[in-house]
Amino acid sequence: MSEETEELADFLAIRERFRVLRTLQQCLRSSELRHRSLQAMEATRIDLEHARLARWPSGLFSDFDFVYDGFQGVTVLGGTSGAGKSQMALACALENADSDGGCCVVYFDAENVAGEIKPRVMRWYGGEAPFHQRFSLISQHRFRWVPVRMGHTWSQMFHCVADWLDSSHERALVVLDSLQKIAKRIAPSANMLNTTQQMLNAMEELVQQSEGRIGFLVLSELNKDDQIKGGSGLYDSTMALKITPEEDYLVRIEVLKNRNGRRGTDLGLYELDWSICRLRKYST
């Protein structure tokens, strides 16, 4: 390859990164929890070169990513309080931020405080030294933990993500911990069902607009019918997993929904390994 050809290839790659960046930022900044005015309908060319919805690693210590090719779109982690949803979500977030895939991870948290998150991150990295050496670099460009307070808004949340994106990011993973608690804080006087449904609708639209480059990991309690607690169903999610405590540090994980693959599957028992802040497949 000649020097001129290499320079052209580098230029085209850089231009594509900025095009992706602008697309992600425009999608995020246009997201609102209200009905927007009707827009003109346009036919869209289907690009088979990028035919599949973007996926991302689950962070599970098992063959899940091999079988299901990771999480996608709007993925819901459901289960009772204390089932291990936050641990699983943080492991997924760190796995993606720590990879070389150009992923920007923003973890919106209304359940935990910084004093709870820090030791979990340190254990995920294996101790203090790796934490300070590796995570300090990751946290500058790829990982943000954002506490959600009373008075914050949906618009603020997504402008926060858009403002942090730069040309090194090819995709964004947004974690909401948890759906119900964040809904109460951004709209305390509104109907819970309406707020959670509007949030899920907006997330699904962002996934579609960005062709999956913006993904969501949503933590939620489930009701007795395995639907999102508060009345909202799972129909706006792309994938939904249920985590059920069994005994000691064991949980059972089931795939309740998967638009693009196998569903209704019992993945078996997983061990909550607090020493490394991960879930690993349990074997007797």
Dihedral, 168, 105, 127, 112 alpha carbons, nearest 10: 160
Question: What CATH number was assigned to the domain covering residues 3-31+68-238?
Answer: 3.40.50.300
Q: What is the pLDDT of residues 172-218, one digit of tens each?
A: 999 999 999 999 999 888 888 888 888 998 899 888 888 888 999 99
- C-alpha–C-alpha distance, residues 140 and 138, integer Å: 5
pLDDT: is 56 or 35 the higher one?
Answer: 56
Question: How does strand 214-220 pair with strand 71-72?
Answer: unpaired
Q: Give alpha helix (H) positions in the chain.
A: 3-29, 64-68, 85-98, 114-125, 128-130, 136-141, 154-164, 179-186, 192-209
- C-alpha–C-alpha distance, residues 250 and 244, integer Å: 9
Q: Which pair of tokens denotes residue 205?
A: 């639209």
Judged against a pLDDT cut of 70, whether residue 231 lies above it is answered with no
Q: What is the pLDDT of residues 240-261, one digit of tens each?
A: 999 999 988 899 999 999 988 7
pLDDT: is 169 or 110 the higher one?
Answer: 110
Q: Residue with structure tokens 């899940």?
A: 64
How deeply is 147 buried, as exposed, middle or buried, from its count of CB atoms within 10 A (0-12, 13-18, 19+)? Answer: middle
**pTM for the full predicted model:** 0.86
